[in-house]
Amino acid sequence: MKASSYFGYKCPRCGSTIDIDATVGSSDEPYCPDCGTIMKPDPHGKTSAANVYCPKCKASFGLVNSDRCPICGGPFSIMK
């Protein structure tokens, strides 16, 4: 079974957006949950980060919908 994840997509038909999505099944494309249209990458979408660490406040995140620490606003480092 195939699993996919998508970050920052927008529906070209109705304008709905998806910041983070994960699907399990045979689809290679994310479909709009509102109208069923295949979604497209949104160049103006929110930034997401995965597997990151904030050296300023010592917080770590597996997945966060930001490019800065949501606790202190500091920059992330990639966890090793």
* pLDDT block averages, 10 residues each, the chain of length 80: 81 92 76 93 84 93 89 86
Which stretches of the chain are assigned E, i.e. beta strand? 3-10, 17-24, 40-41, 49-54, 59-64, 77-78
37-47 confidence digits (pLDDT tens): 999 999 888 78
Tokens of residue 16, six digits: 């709905």
The reported pLDDT for the residue numbered 1 is: 64
The rounded distance, in Å, linking the Cα atoms of 68 and 52 is 10
How many of the other CB atoms lie within 10 Å of CB of 36? 10
pLDDT score recorded for residue 26? 64
Question: What would you measure as the largest C-alpha separation in the chain, in angstroms?
Answer: 43
Hey, where are the domains in the chain? 3-41, 49-78
